[in-house]
Amino acid sequence: MENIIRIKKATFYGYHGVRSEEQSVGGKFEADVDIYTDFSSAAKKDSLHETIDYHKVYKFLYRMALEQKYYLIESLAIRIADELLINFQTINKVAVRIRKNNPPLGGVVDCVEVEVIKERKDL
């Protein structure tokens, strides 16, 4: 059985971007993570120890988003996907979406978003 745990709109202030002002001033970013796993046994037993602790995933995501500056949100998304699969062995597949709000494109744009979908076999 495959189930999905979703973390939506995790918000952080980061220093990612190609332009120097993005790297120094920073901006608001959002992340969504879809975790594909089997939590049926955990649900039957009502046991956190048999599923993904999404509090730990959130803290992990937040740390990954802030510990390093990236020119590309694409690089950040791939690193998060890889590290989630490496560090959480019961994740079968993960989809990571990173949004840069109000990107400096010379016009009015709400956000730019990238998505990475990886399975354990892709590592």
- Mind telling me the catalytic residues? 100
d(CA 61, CA 32): 10
Burial of residue 46 (CB within 10 Å: 0-12, 13-18, 19+) is exposed
d(CA 103, CA 73): 11
Please give the C-alpha separations between residue 24 and each of 14, 17, 48, 60, 79, in angstroms, as whole numbers: 10, 10, 40, 23, 22
| Residue type at position 19 | R
